[in-house]
């Protein structure tokens, strides 16, 4: 068993596909498949259940993944620490990004990071805030940008508050409420809504606001992508509550969308989270690029800071 085999197993588990895993690892699929088959023979268990359409870890595979990720993280830290001691930051950096992140221009941040640390290889992963926070806790991600309802803070990770934002009502330009100076949730109770998937933090923000206001609403369409929500709105299928900092640039570019302030609407907190226990040199370097100290900085001391 070697580290490369572990990397192959992790890649297949995360992509749920041998071809995509091989592309991620920059090897031909046959080589990756043979190495995993060799590992399965060595361990005496099947790590993956496979069919022509589906691949997923077996129970033995899930157990193996826990140790594999720990070994790979330790190896990456060892390599990074050795390089950092010589004045060079290397290794891999896995970054989770909420698609509605607006407090930080992530591409611009990575451009600055690349200019200072060109030897680091960065892998980006999009997802919901709860999913990304869990991935940081499990060590699958080094750092992540989240957006959560006010009063909700992820546990088990270092948290740095980046910004606070208010939701606005997003309607088609010809809607009866377009152009209103402001509305309340009671004013829009009879509207048909488009929202994020039930059970996600993004959806919870709106659900909590309506519950607090004592107002019920009809969510006719659920989507996992904010851009798809705005496209449904343009088609006149409903209205939505979305973070103002994220949706305002979209509305500026699309005259078919109109934004209306909501007096009692949801408020969101954008945060940066990372595992504060022995962060890698690449993680520390990204925090440094943001002007944050990994240990003993604002998050470690329980203070918030806006970048």
Tell me, yes or no, whether 22 and 130 share the same domain: no
Tell me, yes or no, whether 44 and 95 share the same domain: no
Any idea what the CATH number is for the domain that residue 216 is in? Answer: 3.40.190.290
Tell me, yes or no, whether 98 and 72 share the same domain: no
Domain end residue (candidates: 59, 88, 117): 88
Q: Which residue has the higher pLDDT, 299 or 91?
A: 91
pLDDT at 306 over 50: no
Domain end residue (candidates: 88, 119, 150): 88
Domain end residue (candidates: 32, 60, 88): 88
CA–CA dist 93, 284 (Å, integer): 10
Tell me, yes or no, whether 186 and 138 share the same domain: yes
Q: What is the pLDDT of residues 83-123, one digit of tens each?
A: 544 457 878 899 999 988 888 999 999 999 999 999 999 99
Number of structural domains, the chain? 2
b/e 161-185 (16+ beta carbons within 10 angstroms → b): bbbebebbbbbbeebeeeeeeebeb
Contact 136, 142 (CB under 8 A): yes
Parent domain of 73: 1-88
Of 168-172, 248-252, 263-267, 295-299, which one has max mean pLDDT?
A: 168-172
Q: What is the pLDDT of residues 271-292, one digit of tens each?
A: 999 988 778 889 999 999 988 8
Query: How large is the angle between the packed helices 129-138 and 201-213, nearest 10 degrees?
Result: 130
Tell me, yes or no, whether 45 and 96 share the same domain: no
CA–CA dist 164, 300 (Å, integer): 20
**For position 82, what pLDDT does the model report?**
54
Tell me, yes or no, whether 74 and 161 share the same domain: no
Using a pLDDT cut of 70, give the percent of the chain over it. Answer: 91
Q: What is the pLDDT of residues 13-51, one digit of tens each?
A: 999 999 989 998 888 999 899 999 999 999 999 999 988
Counting Cα atoms < 13 Å in the Cβ hemisphere of 135 gives 22
pLDDT band at 305 (very low <50, low <70, confident <90, very high): very low
Any idea what the CATH number is for the domain that residue 70 is in? Answer: 1.10.10.10
CB atoms within 10 A of CB 79: 15
pLDDT at 171 over 90: yes
Q: What is the pLDDT of residues 127-161, one digit of tens each?
A: 889 899 999 998 889 999 999 888 888 888 999 99
pLDDT band at 236 (very low <50, low <70, confident <90, very high): very high
Tell me, yes or no, whether 254 and 236 share the same domain: yes
């Amino acid at each position: 068993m070697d580290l490369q085999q572990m990397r192959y197993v992790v890649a297949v588990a995360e992509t749920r596909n041998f071809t995509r895993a091989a592309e991620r690892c920059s090897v031909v699929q046959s080589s990756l498949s043979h190495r995993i088959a060799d590992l399965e023979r060595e361990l005496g268990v099947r790590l993956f259940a496979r069919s022509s359409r589906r691949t997923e870890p077996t129970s033995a595979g899930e157990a193996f993944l826990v140790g594999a990720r720990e070994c790979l993280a330790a190896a990456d830290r060892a390599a990074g620490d050795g390089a950092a001691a010589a004045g060079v930051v290397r290794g891999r950096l896995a970054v989770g990004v909420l698609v509605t992140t607006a407090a930080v221009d992530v591409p611009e941040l990575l451009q600055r990071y690349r200019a200072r640390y060109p030897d680091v290889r960065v892998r980006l992963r999009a997802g919901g805030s709860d999913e990304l926070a869990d991935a940081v806790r499990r060590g699958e991600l080094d750092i992540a940008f989240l957006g959560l309802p006010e009063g909700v803070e992820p546990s088990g990770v270092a948290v740095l508050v980046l910004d606070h934002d208010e939701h606005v009502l997003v309607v088609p330009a010809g809607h009866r409420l377009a152009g209103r100076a402001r509305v309340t949730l009671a004013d829009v109770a009879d509207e048909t809504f488009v929202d994020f998937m039930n059970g996600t933090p993004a959806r919870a923000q709106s659900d909590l606001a309506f519950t607090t206001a004592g107002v019920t609403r009809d969510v006719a369409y659920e989507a996992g992508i904010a851009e798809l929500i705005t496209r449904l709105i343009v088609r006149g299928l409903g209205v939505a509550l979305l973070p103002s900092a994220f949706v305002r640039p979209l509305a500026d570019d699309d005259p078919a969308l109109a934004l209306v302030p909501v007096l009692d609407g949801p408020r969101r907190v954008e945060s940066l989270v990372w595992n504060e226990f022995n962060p890698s040199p690449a993680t520390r370097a990204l925090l440094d690029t943001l002007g944050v100290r990994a240990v003993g900085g604002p998050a470690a001391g329980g203070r918030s800071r806006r970048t």
